[in-house]
Amino acid sequence: MNLISSLYFSAPEIFLIISGLVLLLVAAFGGDKTARTVTILAVAALFGAAVYTTDLLTNPAYELGGEAWAGIYRMDSFGSFAKILIYLAAIGSLIVTPKFFAENGGYRPEYAILVLFSSVGMALMVSAVNLMTLYMGLELMSLSSYVLASFSRSDNRSAEAGLKYFVLGALASGILLYGMSLLYGFTGSTSYLGIRLALQGGLSMGATFGIVLILAGLAFKIAAVPFHMWTPDVYEGAPTPVSAFFSTAPKVAAVAILMRISLDTFGEHTLAWQQIVIFAALASIVVGALGAIGQDNIKRLLAYSSINNVGFILIGLAAATPAGASGMLVYLTIYVAMSLGSFVAVMMLKDAQGSQIEKISSMAGMVREKPLLAWCIFFLMLSLAGIPPLFGFYGKFVVFQAAVQADMVALAAIGIAASVIGAFYYLKICKVIMFDDPAGEVVGDTTTSNWAVLLICSLIISPLGWLLTKPLVELADKAASSLFFVI
């Protein structure tokens, strides 16, 4: 637990913070024209952090992980797995950003820096083993996100999205903080291990309230029903690259801390939170599916789709087994590819004036004009719906299998039956782009960076993705097992 190992374990975060500060200086002195350079450097920094973290994840020398900074930070394979996903998602959404703002105007170097700081916050969250560190990371992420949501200063919708996100996010943070303080009051510790040890004797009423409030705060962050109301508005109003970012990286981070807190800190009181998770899972699946049906705005629809997907991820948590946790990580990985790909595809829907098309009806018959883009959207939608042989099915496969193995057959049956409702609205988009008469509005996009991200995501969700299952499951199993250590 000395300084060197602490530095070594948390090197990616430290490196990213320093990069962020340096880039901030570059931006301050260089002005707006450095925006592109700063973005490229930020991507490079995130990539470096991801590579370093991959080494921490795969190197057998760090198999067991280790504590850092006097027990407030923990390097383990679970955190590393989540962090790699977060960094990759941030990279993906950064790559497509400059072009988007170049057309709409108003791109500034602060964007990339905010994403960078937000990523650091998320990385701290997933590695935190102390409620204070967790809260700090969470707020670093959230504050950056609020600014990102309202980044298009001239756009009213964007400003509205930022304000809504801020007000509701602050409320959720308050709830979370209240839960933490209750927990501290009843256990006398803010470290996960301390809380776990203190709760071994049994749950007092106050501690139960603490758990419930913490779960409620986290449910807001992952946009699980009944704390999902902000999602459609924020995703719709925020600039599309920001929506792509919101639907991936912060979701991974929030799900990851939810997993760590539930399975590690409250790991011996599964019954106390399991019913809450089951309710949130089923409610998210159903509300996400039903809410999406009436939407004519593709971004709103994708927001409901992300609520729906969170429901499926929570099924894995409800199982409360290593297989369930591993399934959640696999699902998250696939979800990041699907969600990022979908938002990038949406970003590429341009009309003749170069402005973005968000209405689903305007996408009618686009397969005639833009076949490749249309087929990508087609497969992304069916993958989100979980139709085999697309890779999205595998995510559902692993979480439902885990639920059945944990003897929760009824939960699995209801959840999977509700997924058919979701298939309906994904089919609606497929129908509009494939079957309808061409509206002739989509002229498409030839930006290389967009195509690169879209095609990589599409390749991952294509049946070729199945070849990834072995290494993916191996890593996810390893990551999940580090949550289930025995004291």
Whole-number Å distance between alpha carbons of 293 and 281: 19
Question: Smallest distance, Å, CB 473 to other proteins?
Answer: 4
List residues binding other proteins (CB under 8 A): 382, 387-389, 393, 397-398, 400-401, 404-405, 409, 412-413, 416-417, 419-420, 423-424, 427, 430-431, 434-435, 466-467, 469-470, 472-474
Q: What angle do CA 301, 304, 306 make, to 5 degrees?
A: 110
Q: How far is the CB of 337 from other proteins (least distance, A)?
A: 17
| 178 or 397: CB nearest other proteins | 397
Is the Cβ of residue 435 or residue 485 nearer to other proteins in the bound state? 435
Q: Which of 449, 238, 266 is nearest to 358 (CA)?
A: 238
From CA 310, how far away is CA 399, in angstroms rounded?
12
Of residues 197 and 434, the one with the C-beta less far from other proteins: 434
How many residues are present in the chain? 487
Q: Cα angle at 357 between 107 and 108, to 5 degrees?
A: 5
Instruction: Closer to other proteins by CB, 63 or 407: give it.
Output: 407
Q: Do the beta carbons of residue 341 and residue 380 sit within 8 Å? A: yes
* Calpha distance 413→186 (Å, rounded): 38
Q: Classify the C-alpha dihedral 443-448-451-453 as positive or negative.
A: negative
What is the C-alpha to C-alpha distance for residues 465 and 383, in angstroms, rounded to an integer? 11
Please give the structure tokens belonging to residue 56.
């921490």
Nearest distance from C-beta of residue 400 to other proteins, angstroms = 6
Closest CA to 307 of 329, 335, 333, 276: 335
Place of tokens 């990759």: 88
- Whichever of 150 and 419 has its CB closer to other proteins, that residue is 419
CB of 264 to other proteins, least distance (A): 25
Report the b/e string of 255-268 with b at 16+ CB within 10 A.
bbbbbbbbbbbbbe
Buried b (16+ CB within 10 A) or exposed e, 375-413: ebbbbbbbbbbbbeebbbbbbbbbbbbbbeebebeebbe
User: Between 227 and 426, whose beta carbon lies closer to other proteins?
Assistant: 426
Identify which of residues 209 and 397 has a Cβ nearer to other proteins in the complex: 397
Task: Report, in Å, the least distance between residue 222 CB and other proteins.
Answer: 24
Question: Could you tell me if 70 and 3 are in contact, meaning their C-beta atoms sit under 8 angstroms apart?
Answer: no
Structure tokens at 114: 């905010």
Give, in order, the Cα–Cα distances in Å from 285 to each of 193, 290, 471.
33, 9, 28
What's the closest the beta carbon of residue 414 comes to other proteins, in angstroms? 10
In whole angstroms, give the CA distance from residue 39 to residue 41.
Answer: 5
Q: How far is the CB of 64 from other proteins (least distance, A)?
A: 24
> Shortest distance, CB of residue 164 to other proteins, whole angstroms?
34
Nearest to 247 by CA among 341, 131, 123: 341
* Token pair in block for residue 98: 């400059």
Separation CA 373–CA 251 (nearest Å): 26
Sequence-distant (6+) residues with CB within 8 A of 417 are: none
Do residues 202 and 268 lie in contact, with contact meaning Cβ atoms separated by under 8 Å? no
Q: Is 161 helix (H, G, I), strand (E, B) or coil?
A: helix
Smaller CB distance to other proteins: residue 24 or 473?
Answer: 473
Kindly state the smallest distance separating residue 301's Cβ from other proteins, in Å: 17
Residue 260 vs 396, nearer CB to other proteins:
396
For other proteins, which is the closer residue by CB, 33 or 470?
470
| Cβ closest to other proteins, residue 46 vs residue 384 | 384
The residue among 101 and 378 lying less far from other proteins, judged by its C-beta, is 378
Least distance to other proteins from the beta carbon of 466, Å? 6
Minimum distance from CB of 318 to other proteins (Å)?
A: 15
Q: How many helices (H) and strands (E) does the chain have?
A: 22, 2
**What single-letter amino acid sits at 169?**
G
Question: Is the CB of 11 or the CB of 290 nearer to other proteins?
Answer: 290
Supply the minimum distance, in Å, between the C-beta of residue 171 and other proteins: 37
Q: How far is the CB of 231 from other proteins (least distance, A)?
A: 25
